[in-house]
């Protein structure tokens, strides 16, 4: 049986999201469209899907979606980022230094040598220990499709995959992908060959302290008019 095309995944996921959020929109007015671009000053990137509506509680609510098929399987595979590993280890070393109390030696000790060498040693040891024991953790991995989705700011962000593409992923990579999405609050929709969509992981709501996420999109005015 033929694998699903990205267009079918995109359209199926978009229709699924529309049905999922329709009842949450005031007056049932929902802007739902595929292929929506961000403004040029935000990169002019094209989201595979965008929904917007006036939520009963949260006001203007925006949902973005990115769809992938088996043809872009490589973009779905988590890969370790050594720069991220180093950065996470540095943060862990600093926390370890503070929790151990060695950080306070910087201003509590009079010995100029020990004043700096003790916190430094604790920081280095903490960073090395953390990096060693979490070398293969999902926290040090990045996924190209998630980087792409990050270009489409929204209250909720979703990834749509075909079931056949997920079946081709190694179990450890699939688990890592799921954990990364959970950590970042990204939802996952799985589209089957029968054209059915289901939620594998729900998206978490994100806030924008000032204004709303529609300001990032090129057709902001038209979208606002459609959902008023």
Distance of CA 142 to the CA centre of its chain: 10
* DSSP alpha helix (H) spans, 22-111: 82-100, 105-108
Instruction: Please report where in the chains the tokens 């009963």 appear, as a residue.
Output: 56
Q: Which of 74-78, 100-104, 218-222 has the highest mean pLDDT?
A: 218-222
The residue segments making up the domain with residue 197 are 6-78+143-227
89, part of any domain: yes
Which residue, of 114, 138, 162, is where some domain finishes? 138
| Cα–Cα distance measured from residue 86 to residue 1, given in angstroms and rounded to the nearest whole number | 44
- Structurally, the chain folds into a number of domains equal to 2
pLDDT tens digits for range 34-69: 999 999 999 999 999 999 999 988 999 999 999 999
Domain boundary residue, one of 121, 138, 155? 138
d(Cα 18, Cα 22) in Å, to the nearest integer?
6
Can you spell out the DSSP letters for 132-189?
HHTTT-GGGEE-HHHHHHTTS--SEEEEEEEHHHHHTS-HHHHHHHHHHHHHHT-EEE
Euclidean distance between CA atoms 96 and 103, whole angstroms: 9
The answer to whether position 1 is within a domain reads: no
Query: How far is C-alpha 223 from the chain's CA centre?
Result: 24
Say whether both 17 and 72 belong to one domain: yes
Tell me: do 109 and 96 sit in the same domain.
yes
- 141 strand-pairing partners: 80
One domain for residues 158 and 68: yes
Beta strand pairing status for 25-37 and 156-162? unpaired
Burial grade of 99 (CB within 10 A; 0-12, 13-18, 19 or more): exposed
Q: Indicate the pairing of strand 46-55 with strand 25-37.
A: antiparallel
Q: Determine, yes or no, domain membership for 173.
A: yes
For the stretch 177-223, pLDDT in tens is 999 999 999 999 999 988 899 999 999 999 988 999 999 999 999 99
Q: Are residues 93 and 62 both part of a single domain?
A: no
On whether both 159 and 215 belong to a single domain, the answer is: yes
Verify that 86 and 34 share a domain, yes or no: no
24 and 73 housed in the same domain:
yes
With 0.85 as the threshold, say if the pTM is over it: no
pLDDT at 106 > cutoff 80: no
Task: Let me know whether 176 and 63 are in one domain.
Answer: yes
Q: Examine the domain organization and report whether 169 and 206 are in the same domain.
A: yes
CA distance 215 to 85: 33
Rounded to the nearest 5°, which phi and psi values hold at 12?
Answer: -65, -45
Whether residue 164 is found in the same domain as residue 72: yes
Confidence tier at 101 by pLDDT (50, 70, 90): low
pLDDT in tens, 130-189: 888 888 888 888 899 999 999 999 999 999 999 999 999 999 999 999 999 999 999 999
The C-alpha atoms of residue 102 and residue 124 are separated, in whole angstroms, by 12
Residues 31 and 73 in one domain: yes
pLDDT band at 115 (very low <50, low <70, confident <90, very high): low
Rounded Cα gap, residues 116 and 113, in angstroms: 6
């Amino acid at each position: 049986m033929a694998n699903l095309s990205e267009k079918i995944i995109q359209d199926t996921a978009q229709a699924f999201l529309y049905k999922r959020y329709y009842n949450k929109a005031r007056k049932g007015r929902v802007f739902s469209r595929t292929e929506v671009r961000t403004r040029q000053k935000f990169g002019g990137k094209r989201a595979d899907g965008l929904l917007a509506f006036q939520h009963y509680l949260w006001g203007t609510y925006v949902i973005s979606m990115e769809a992938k098929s088996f043809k872009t399987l490589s973009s779905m595979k988590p890969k370790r980022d050594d720069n991220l590993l180093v950065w996470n280890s540095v943060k862990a070393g600093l926390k370890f230094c503070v929790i151990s109390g060695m950080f306070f030696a910087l201003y509590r000790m009079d010995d100029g040598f020990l004043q700096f060498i003790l916190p430094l040693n604790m920081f280095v040891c903490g960073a090395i220990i953390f990096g060693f024991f979490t070398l293969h953790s999902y926290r040090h991995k990045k996924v190209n499709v998630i980087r792409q989705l990050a270009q489409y700011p929204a209250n909720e962000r979703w990834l749509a995959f075909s079931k056949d593409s997920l079946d081709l992923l190694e179990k450890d990579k699939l688990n890592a992908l799921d954990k990364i999405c959970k950590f970042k609050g990204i939802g996952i929709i799985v589209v089957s060959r029968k054209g059915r969509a289901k939620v594998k992981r729900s998206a978490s709501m994100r806030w924008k302290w000032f204004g709303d996420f529609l300001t990032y999109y090129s057709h902001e005015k038209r979208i606002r008019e459609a959902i008023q």
